[in-house]
Chains A and B, each alone.
Chain A
Amino acid sequence: METRNKMNRRLIDHQLFWPLFALTVLLVFDFFYIKGFFHLEIIEGHLYGSLIDIVNRATPLMFLAIGMTLVIASGGIDISVGSVLAISGAISALMIGGDLVFVDGVQHYVARYPILVAIFVALVVSVICGIWNGLLIAKLGVNAMVGTLILLVAGRGIAQLIVDGNVITVYYEPFFYIGSGFFLGLPFSIYLVAAFLGLIMWLIKKTAFGLFLESIGSNRVSSRFTGLDVQKIMWACYAISGLCAGIAGIIVASEVKSADANNAGVFIELDAILSVVLGGNSMAGGRFSVIGSVIGALVVQTLTTTIYAIGVPPEITMVVKALVVIVIYLIQSQMGKKTVKRTVKTSAGETALKTQEAKA
């Protein structure tokens, strides 16, 4: 007991094993079956290739996965992220737009509002959406699925309202940088994810937030008895989820250079949930790994790209994703049955009985 030896855990028990394993399997498959998948080339100082493409496209999903991880860890769920994404994209696109002006005879596109202001407003609105969800779920105790359902339904309407039913095209070039630009050879959005991930990891590991969240997700009653502010922490999770959806919305709008309130982010919440599950996190809450979810998002994106690259119609992707989830769940439920059996020794056996009796 004096020696603080690390538990001899097999590699296979580590939470990140499964998402990394899945990713590796996919990449190996791609290596053999898809010509030129791993081909990278540098054009005009920028790195191009399927791999880069995957990571770039995955960034909005990664943001959503980060927020969704926290919400699921608290024991809830957030199905409104797609709608919040649409709202955020709509706001930023609308506020930036791009009016054609002539300066010294040269065409320029000018933003309606400064780009930073537009982004700020979009993010604030997204956080407000998250706070709204938190109000229903953390404070009022409404069921998480139903509570976020409201924003799911309303959000699209709100986004449509903002863009007045139009698809808003953005012409302002600096805006494209967010989603399509490169920095130091790599897509800019990767740096955004890395920075945000760093921030979240600081919150989780350097403050008590991570510990409290895991405690609340594992046993809400015990956490309350221990004096943790359960409501505050749950509320924060939903606010962060809103923020993540907001950032994702801006990236998407920047990538496609427009805001389509009807189609932006449709079904993406399901991809986000899938990423979290693939990342080894339990839907029941408790212990979580944000990095696992981020890798999970990569897996989902790789899966999508692989299926597309093989030439399979994209609709099959949905079927494959669903089957993957079912298989994972079946495995999880089988493994769950084994770990529950705890060998209880003699004196502990008495305890087992006494606690049983006490409950009777």
Chain B
Amino acid sequence: MKNLQINSKFIPLLITIALFVVLFAAGSVSYRGFFSMQVVLNLLVDNSFLIIVALSQAMIIILGGIDLSCGALIALSSMVAAYSMSHLNLPPALAILAVLIVCSLFGFVQGWLITYRKFQPFIATLCGMFIARGLCFMINQDTVPITDPFFVSMATMRIKLMPGATISSSVIIALVMLALYIYIAHYTKFGRAIYAVGGNEQSARLMGLPVDRTKVLAYTLSGFTSGIAGIVFCFYMLSAYGLNAMALEMDAIAAAVIGGTLMTGGVGFVIGSVFGVMIEGIMQTLITFQGDLNSWWTRIAVAFLLCVFIVVQRVLVLRREAKKRIRPVEFIE
């Protein structure tokens, strides 16, 4: 008979999901109109691009690094897309391709500097962020509208799931990315290598894993993902501006941490990031519904949550080191 004990590695994720449910329940009880499917779906609609970069951020943190360039790459993506369509007259397909190539290149260079030149990930991606934002402004200092029909149609498309519940195309893309990341993280050697390297890089090397290749590939993928998020952002905003998505990377990191990814590396589920974003979103929604509190309370609330999660994570790690809970083992003759 299988015991009902939940595998302990799922506990942080379950806590995150539970927190979301609690917040949603609290909102539903306190405010009229809160308890509706659309409220939940709007979290996805408004935050799809954040969800996408939170996924890649989680992977990078699991690897043991950090990526501060995602917000800047989103802004750059929208600018590259807008510019190539309006000034270079590229068809949308090529514009999207250009975006993905540029962003992947950013990720690749950052990954290379980190892996082969021993740059600290913080510094390398920080520089990437600076350069990306700078490039954005160099292309155009003002807002550039996106008028291409394809983009417009993607922006306005609404898919009706059931009466009173619609989502946008961005949500579909975000969910596809989620599926992709779950596949990579749990069903590919590359993904497992990321977990291994994050757990103990030296052991991973000694076990024969292609550590360097994994790291560079991971950062390249992260850049690529920022590009996808940037396209989705275009669908959301239909314009490009250098100051877009400022400080988004911090939200992504916060979402990953709240979603159960440990900053020390090697531990975490990408789906946790999704819930992390939804928690951030639902707190924003709660505050909006409240009406009195200003929106910057969201920042404080998110920071508070982040703090709690980080401290709890740290305490758990210390406790685990102090008392090794040894699992029982059978010996067969």
Contacts and interface: CB of A to CB of B under 8 A. Distances in A.
Do A and B touch, yes or no (CB under 8 Å, in the complex)? yes
Nearest to B121: A145
A153 B302 contact: yes
Interface in B110-130: 113, 117-120, 122-124, 126-130
Given A77-B122, A147-B310, A157 B134 contact: no
A222 B155 CA distance: 59
Interface stretch (A63-71, A191-199, A233-241, A324-332): A324-332
Contacts of A313: 137-138, 141
Contacts of A319: 130-131, 134-135, 138
Interface in A223-278: 270, 273
Contacts of B136: 315
Contacts of A325: 123, 126-127
A317 B66 CA distance: 24
A160 B294 contact: yes
B113 A326 contact: yes
A203 interface: no
Tell me what chain A mostly uses at the interface: helix, strand, loop, or mixed: helix
Interface string A124-167: 00000000000010001111011101111111111011001100
B80 to A, nearest CB: 15
B54 to A, nearest CB: 15
A270 B126 contact: yes
Contact of A153 (B117, B129, B135, B299): B299
B314 interface: yes
- Which of A136, A149, A273, A323 has the most C-beta atoms of chain B within 10 angstroms of its own C-beta? A149
A164 B124 CA distance: 36
| Count class of interface residues, chain B | 35 or more
Tell me what chain B mostly uses at the interface: helix, strand, loop, or mixed: helix
| Count class of interface residues, chain A | 35 or more
Contacts of A318: 130-131, 133-134, 137
B302 A329 contact: no
B127 A157 contact: no
Contacts of B253: 146, 149
B264 interface: yes
Contacts of B264: 143
Contacts of B250: 149, 152-153
A321 interface: yes
Contacts of B134: 315-320, 322
Contacts of B303: 150-151, 153-155, 157
Given A141-B318, A158-B300, A333 B131 contact: no
Contacts of A147: 310
A234 B67 CA distance: 26
Contacts of A156: 296, 299
A155 B137 CA distance: 27
Contacts of B294: 160-161, 164-165
B167 to A, nearest CB: 28
B314 A315 contact: no
Interface of A: 77, 136, 140-143, 145-147, 149-158, 160-161, 164-165, 270, 273, 283, 313, 315-323, 325-326, 329-330, 333
Given A141-B314, A161-B300, 19 more contacts: A142-B310, A142-B314, A143-B264, A145-B66, A146-B263, A146-B310, A151-B303, A154-B299, A154-B303, A155-B303, A157-B300, A157-B303, A165-B294, A315-B136, A318-B134, A319-B131, A322-B127, A329-B117, A329-B119
13 contacts: A140-B311, A146-B257, A146-B263, A151-B303, A153-B250, A154-B299, A157-B303, A315-B134, A319-B135, A322-B128, A325-B127, A326-B124, A329-B117
3 closest A-B pairs by beta carbon, nearest first, are: A315-B137, A154-B303, A157-B299
